[in-house]
Amino acid sequence: MRTTVREKLRRSKRRLERRLENRPGEERESPMFTATDVHYELSSRARGIACGGVGALMMVARASGLIGDIDSRLKLLRRHLPYHESDHVLNVALNIAAGGSRIEHIELRRNDEAFLDALGAGRIPDPTTGGDFCRRFEGPDVLDLMDAFNAARLRVWRQQPAGFFERAIIDIDGTLVGTGAECKAGIDIAYDGTWGYHPLVVSLANTSEPPFLADRPGNRPSHDEAWVYEEKAIALCRRAGFREVLLRGDTDFSQTRRLDRWDDAGHVRFIFGLDAMPNLVALPEGAYGYLERPEPPIGTVPRERPERHKAKVVEAREFETIGTLEEMVAEFDYRPTACDRAYRVVVLRKRLARDKGQMRLFEEYRYFFFITNDRERPAEAVVLDANRRCNQENLVAQLKGGVHALATPVDDLVSNWAYMVMASLAWSLKAWSALLLPISPRHAERHEAQKRALLAMEFRTFRAAMIEMPCQIIRGGRRLIYRILSWNPWRGAFLMRLGASSE
């Protein structure tokens, strides 16, 4: 980072710290908020945008080779008058990054002259044109689009340190996307009465990226076509250089017909939930040992736990509650009917108490089974590994509510699938921004912490920290300059990602 940029950041930080310092003084006679005589003026020359971080996302897209991959692999347009396939794809992703949550919000971007200048674009597709582009897709075209994303993803992964490639953890889950529209082709009714689609999400737990998404009718079971995308994810991780691949899924994804094949591969491990069948529950008491879950690390100074007011209300109103008294684990060998060999099954037995007010109604046992070909790790570690798969629910929630990628703005299953994949690119660009953050040896610990924080950020927080950055847009001298007009604690990481090309 250039000395002038570093000094400007220091000065901005010092000014802000002085203003925020809690200095004792005399009592104020008037409120702190004193803005009264406010005037708005329309600038005739200077232009600015509130989402200045989109320029950095464009740089990530170019640095990863994403734009070229899309245009070379996706062939939907016979002539480019004036847009290329990459223009349509980035139009959807950058609309979401800039704060849009619907395809209609693209209209706000295309009518913002400063936004167009920031992208170096004469114009961008309107929402109707974007919807028409989605309708051009057929199933193989969506697969080509995901392959283009994954080609760029591989380049980003290959810039990571050697420890990154020790083990790839692939999580897989389905989620329901409801819609009240009756004219969307491919919708169906799910088990819970929801009309809509049932997307399948395959993610890399190491970075919370979704390399594969598949859209399906709402009535399809969770495991439908799951093995196809698991095979694709395994092949992708092996091409990247991961030495081992771990597949994780709940009971809906224990596809026993595929277990022998994955076990024969040698580099594939799996932990899947298994339905609790009566013949699996009958274990002697001596087979079980206690499960001790590790305490989560304390990030700050230890402090006293606050009083739990909700528990008092529940007890006073005599609501029924279920609490865990103890957890125990055991293991045995079991050969599923579709397999030609036995695998290790780890059992988690929970002793639960059902209470009503202060009265104990009864106690019961519940059993959870996990089938795995990992015979080296302790049973407790297998259970904890399987439980960490729940973090994928946070990713699904982000794709649904943060990125608004799992939406259905178009009129059939495949076109909505294409939109979901294009919109999910906004989340992938967030992950790539973190992965491409340079780590200097002098400040390695701090930079690694920033990298982990960016990867773990919710999308709205990432947008507030790194995208919603007021910038003046200046074009001249064959350069496109984003002049940053504000400071926050993430500006240093932002400029370090860009190599501090601005002065």
pLDDT digits (tens, 9 = 90+) for 159-185: 999 999 999 999 999 999 999 888 899
Residues in the chain: 503
Calpha distance 444→66 (Å, rounded): 28
Q: Does 63 lie in the same domain as 179?
A: no
Whole-number pLDDT of residue 339? 92
Q: What's residue 503's pLDDT?
A: 38
Q: Is 367 left (phi over 0), alpha (psi -120 to 50) or beta?
A: beta
DSSP strands (E only) in 179-337: 188-189, 195-197, 200-204, 209-214, 245-249, 268-274, 289-290, 320-334
Last residue of a domain, one of 402, 435, 457: 402
Domain identity same for 234 and 354: yes
pLDDT at res. 2: 56
Whether residue 473 contacts residue 482, with contact meaning beta carbons closer than 8 Å, is answered with: yes
416: nearest Cα among 434, 428, 404: 404
What was the pLDDT predicted at 129?
Answer: 95
Q: Tokens 């982990």 identify what position?
A: 452
392, 415: one domain:
no
250 and 207 share one domain: yes
**Which residues of the chain register pLDDT less than 50?**
500-503
Confidence at residue 71, expressed as pLDDT on a 0 to 100 scale: 95
145 within domain boundaries:
no
How distant, in Å, are the alpha carbons of 15, 25, 28 from that of 22? 14, 9, 14
Report d(CA 472, CA 481) in Å as an integer.
8
Could you tell me if 414 and 385 lie in one domain? no
Q: Is residue 142 part of a domain?
A: no
Query: Using an 8 Å Cβ cutoff, are 263 and 355 in contact?
Result: no
- Residue 25 placed within a domain: no
Nearest-angstrom CA–CA distance, 351 and 271: 23
For residue 502, what pLDDT is reported?
A: 38
298-354 pLDDT, tens digit each: 666 777 888 888 988 988 898 999 999 999 999 999 999 899 999 999 999 999 999
Q: Which two tokens stand for residue 394?
A: 């946070």
Give the residue among 98, 90, 96 at the shortest CA–CA distance from 133.
90
Instruction: Copy the structure tokens of residue 219.
Output: 């009535």
Radius of gyration of the chain (CA): 26
Q: Is 146 within 8 Å of 211 (Cβ atoms)?
A: yes
Q: Is residue 502 in some structural domain?
A: no
Give the count of domains, the chain: 2
Q: In this structure, are 96 and 188 located in the same domain? A: no
Residue 481, strand partner residues: 474
- Is 37 a domain residue? no
Same-domain status, 479 and 379: no
Same domain (yes/no): 383, 421: no
Which residues, listed in sequence order, are joined to residue 345 by a DSSP beta bridge? 332, 371
CA 204 – CA 208 distance, rounded (Å): 5
Q: Which of 347, 374, 402 is the last residue of a domain?
A: 402
Q: Do 428 and 482 fall into the same domain?
A: yes
DSSP single-letter state for residue 295:
P
Q: Residue 7, SS3?
A: helix
pLDDT for position 276: 79
Amino acid type, 416: N
CB atoms within 10 A of CB 33: 6
Q: What is the predicted pLDDT for the residue at 46?
A: 79
> Does a structural domain hold residue 112?
yes
Q: Is 290 helix (H, G, I), strand (E, B) or coil?
A: strand
Gap between the Cα atoms of 500 and 432, Å rounded? 18
- Three-point CA angle 152, 156, 158, nearest 5°: 115
Verify that 372 and 228 share a domain, yes or no.
yes
Please give the share of the chain, as a percent, with pLDDT higher than 70.
94
Closest CA to 57 of 85, 6, 97, 102: 97
DSSP 140: H
Q: Which domain holds residue 278?
A: 167-291+311-402
403 and 96 in contact (C-beta within 8 Å)?
yes
Do residues 106 and 123 lie in contact, with contact meaning Cβ atoms separated by under 8 Å? no
Strand 245-249 relative to strand 168-174: parallel, antiparallel, unpaired?
parallel
152 inside domain: no
Q: Same domain for 397 and 432?
A: no
The 3-state DSSP composition of the chain as helix, strand, coil percent (nearest 5) reads 45, 20, 35
Q: How many CB atoms lie within 10 A of CB 380?
A: 18
Confirm whether 96 is domain-assigned: yes
Burial class (CB in 10 A: 0-12, 13-18, 19+), 307: exposed
Residue 148 CB partners (closer than 8 Å, separation 6+): 66, 69, 70, 72, 73, 74
Which residue, among 115, 111, 123, 121, has the nearest Cα to 473 in the 3D structure?
Answer: 115
Residue 286, CA distances (Å) to 27, 289, 329, 376 in order: 70, 8, 11, 21
CA distance 96 to 351: 45
